[in-house]
Amino acid sequence: MKKTILAIAFVAIGAVSCKTEKNKVTANEEVKEVKKVENVINSYKANVAESTVTWKGSKPTGSHNGVVSLEKGLLDIENGVLKSGEFVINMNSIVCQDLEAGKGKEDLEGHLKAGDFFDVEKFPTAKFAVTSSEMKEGKLHVTGNLTLKDVTKSITIPATVTEADGMATFKSDVFSIDRTDFGVTYKSKKIDAALKDKFINDLMEISFDIKAKK
């Protein structure tokens, strides 16, 4: 019976790992030259109360997920095309949604904010700045500079941008980044092979759902 349970657990973990690997985006060198946008027809300011950034991290024994709040953001759209944009994320607002208060929730949130992970006292914000976008096979691909801690890398993510009645929405697909690319190395098997099954997966899932208005 114990062997069966372990087998089911490893199959489930394998399925999560495959999905995360499939959604992985490559972190390239920061795009230094960002095109200046002139005469933008529609500029939208993010509604931080209605916008969310989701996250999910995993390890061999399970996973945790939650949200981080937006501090501010802007979308510039011209003829239905996303020309530029920037989202500043409040890293002090990290919330775990799958744990209950008094049952590990506060401990995990505190650890994620500590120096081992995102060191929010030193780096209180993260940022995604759009540098370009293009349609590929009917899907919008947005390239931008993602800054976590003191590291900035260029990533390209699939997303959807819509406009209606003075409102705009930027919604990305769920994508995965390698946290070690951004200096978050706590319990990374890549860094310390001696961890064996005590490691935390290097790949972390993220998604953006930004609501904005003129």
Tell me: the pLDDT tens digits for 162-185?
999 999 999 999 999 999 999 999
Residue 114, token pair as written in the block: 């500590």
Q: Distance (Å, rounded) from C-alpha 105 to C-alpha 95?
A: 8
Whether residue 39 has pLDDT greater than 60: no
Whether residue 201 has pLDDT greater than 90: yes
Closest by Cα among 104, 101, 100, 46 to 76: 46
The pLDDT of residue 89 is: 98
The pLDDT of residue 12 is: 45
Q: Which domains does the chain have, with CATH numbers?
A: 27-213 (2.40.128.110)
The pLDDT of residue 11 is: 45
Q: Where is pLDDT greater, at 127 or 8?
A: 127
The pLDDT of residue 19 is: 53
Whether residue 118 has pLDDT greater than 70: yes
pLDDT in tens, 137-158: 888 999 999 999 999 999 999 9
Question: Averaged over 11-37, what is the pLDDT?
Answer: 64
The pLDDT of residue 7 is: 42
The pLDDT of residue 15 is: 45
The pLDDT of residue 41 is: 65
Question: Averaged over 94-110, what is the pLDDT?
Answer: 97
Closest by Cα among 85, 45, 46 to 69: 46
- Residue 107's CB is within 10 A of a number of other CB atoms, namely 12
Q: Distance (Å, rounded) from C-alpha 63 to C-alpha 16?
A: 9
Q: What is the DSSP string of the chain?
A: -HHHHHHHHHHHHHHHHHHHHHTB---EE----PPPP-S-SEEEEE-TTT-EEEEEEEETTEEEEEEEEEEEEEEEEETTEEEEEEEEEEEEEEEESSS-TTTTHHHHHHHHHSTTTT-TTT--EEEEEEEEEEEETTEEEEEEEEEETTEEEEEEEEEEEEEETTEEEEEEPPEEEEGGGGT--TT-TTT-GGGGGG---SEEEEEEEEEEE-
The pLDDT of residue 146 is: 97
Q: Distance (Å, rounded) from C-alpha 208 to C-alpha 68?
A: 10
Whether residue 209 has pLDDT greater than 50: yes
The pLDDT of residue 27 is: 84
